Structure 1
């Protein structure tokens, strides 16, 4: 059964409102009071029903301290991992050559590429970058712990991970001569 395209924005808004209200720690009643909307209106919006006005949504964003676009931006995985032997690979006909797409660049994005060389014994802890920045790591050699500070993943040579870099994140070499390709993506 196909989803209703007119319902999709309401579902995204409902999910975002529930997520952001939980993140803020505000109750339904307190959020509604601070935003100047009725509790029943907010309850309906969080249930994916109703017809929210721009003004109502804007007031909720101010109360929840989130950019307006976050209500329409569907949640993305916090961390994406593709192991060295995973992914859809396409082979060339006339050469021993395979290409595996790890990440397509979103429209309007800028990507900066870095080679990282690291040794065990210290952790590179990064503070959050600008909103919307994502990091992509392709481990070239060694082993490393990378990703969100509270939930990093271990990568081996050939593994790939992507995570939001607008939250605290880490890179820790677990074996000597660890190297990686690091791509920062700015949208």
Structure 2
């Protein structure tokens, strides 16, 4: 989501101090350390988590960032929570700011979609929100989530079509759809221009 702030003009503005950019969390190093502590090979963890060995190797070498679903499977296989995975990298700040490079992003090139994971990692599987971008002809197709799960989709620009349990609705910019997500469902861009939306998932 984008936000705007009102600019205040001071009588004698001082030069702005450079903003410090923090390094992205080294998730791969953490996963590798946990795996080795448990005396697991790449093959062992790959099979236990249902993640391909090549993907796991890329993640451990910090060549790729795991999606929220992949991180969830890896931490479950390692016997830790997502929160614990990042615990050692956190500082006790009153206000924690994440830069663009720290936001996990899932690209579905063939399906022509991009999901940016705006929700904090510790709420994964409970309450999640994403920025969904669909290219023309793109679709995000999902299997049924846990019973009672609902999704809330607000179109920011462009138009999208929601399909859930055999019913379909067309949405234009500023429209919001609320629907069951414990059934097979899909979000599609049937238009000719890029479409973007805020997607909120509340798990059952």
Which of 1 and 2 has higher RCO (CA within 8 Å, sep 6+)?
Answer: 1
In terms of Rg, which structure is larger? 1
How does the TM-score come out when normalised to structure 1? 0.40
